[in-house]
Amino acid sequence: SRATDKTQPAAFTAEGKFAVKMIFGSTEGGFCMQTQLVGVCLAIIGFLGTILICGLPMWKVTAFVGANIVTSQVFWEGLWMNCVIQSTGHSQCKAYDSILALPQDLQASRALICVSIGVSVVAIGLTVVGARSTNFYHDDRLTKANVGLSGGVVFIIAGLLCIIPVSWSAHSIITGFYNPLPTSERRGELGASIYVGWASGALLVIGGGILCIEKEYWSNKEQVIVILYQMRG
């Protein structure tokens, strides 16, 4: 028995390997949860930014580039309404009368931004189910990791659905600005919503990517633990 103990110490038996692996896995669990929290926070900030640009009428701002420096009115255009800001500080907003009368890029931007918001809601639900700190699928960790991975992928899709209409609208505004046909006093420039939209889409993509990487790493760890558990049995 002494010879057996010398040739195969307890720390290197299958049971010992399983115990060491579980301790190592629990040590990494805190880091994985922090990484997951960072990804979720970035994605939620991007989601809130998408809601913000959907409501604010600041996609296109009138640029006064004529000889007259004094601006009496500033026009803001958004997805749902346009606003007029007087030099006295008074503002007036009006919703668009007809959807069919809007330009194609504005109609597409409306639809894609709304779809991006809806997809983000689905991604948040999947992420909550797949989060390590929740009790969903507590006995089936591999399924839980796959659900969380799906949430990260859906966040990336939501980010792309936000970036595409923002970039399309920016291209239309820039093309119209350099078009010689419109009058110089009514040429539009990029509004704040365009920049916020780019940032929001990037945050959704980055947050979803972090969740995908963390979930894939966690899934591989869980598979190793299951194998070692079988070796123990």
Q: What percent of the chain has pLDDT over 90?
A: 28
Task: Kindly tell me the burial class for residue 50, based on how many C-beta atoms sit within 10 Å of its own C-beta (0-12, 13-18, 19 or more).
Answer: buried
CB of 188 closer than 8 Å to CB of 82: no
pLDDT attached to residue 70: 58
Place of tokens 């604010």: 56
Considering 46-55, 59-68, 73-82, 98-107, the range whose residues carry the highest mean pLDDT is: 46-55
CATH number for the domain whose boundaries are 32-57+103-180+190-232: 1.20.140.150
- Min mean pLDDT across 5-19, 40-54, 129-143 is at 5-19
Average pLDDT value for residue range 42-70: 82
Which residue type is seen at 205? V
pLDDT digits (tens, 9 = 90+) for 138-166: 777 777 778 888 889 999 999 999 999 99
SS3 91: strand
Domain positions in the chain are: 32-57+103-180+190-232
DSSP string, 47-63: HHHHHHHHH-S-SEEEE
Answer whether residue 91 shows pLDDT above 90.
Answer: no
pLDDT tens, residue by residue, 152-204: 999 999 999 999 999 999 998 888 878 777 554 457 788 899 999 999 999 99
Q: What number of residues does the chain have?
A: 233
Tell which wins on pLDDT, 92 or 114: 114
Determine which helix (DSSP H) or strand (DSSP E) holds 187, and give its type and residue range: strand 187-190
196 membership: H or E segment, kind and range: helix 192-232
DSSP 190: E
Q: Which two tokens stand for residue 122?
A: 């689905």
Report whether 79 contacts 109 (CB < 8 A): yes
* Integer Cα distance of 111 and 18 in angstroms: 52
User: Which residue, 117, 118, 126, 120, is CA-closest to 151?
Assistant: 126
Distance CA 119, CA 31 (A): 28
| CA-wise closest residue to 211 among 45, 38, 30, 26 | 38
Q: For residue 167, what pLDDT is reported?
A: 94
Per the model's pLDDT, the better-predicted residue between 21 and 123 turns out to be: 123
State yes or no: pLDDT of 19 exceeds 50.
Answer: no
pLDDT at 113: 95
Q: CA–CA separation, 119 vs 145, rounded Å?
A: 19
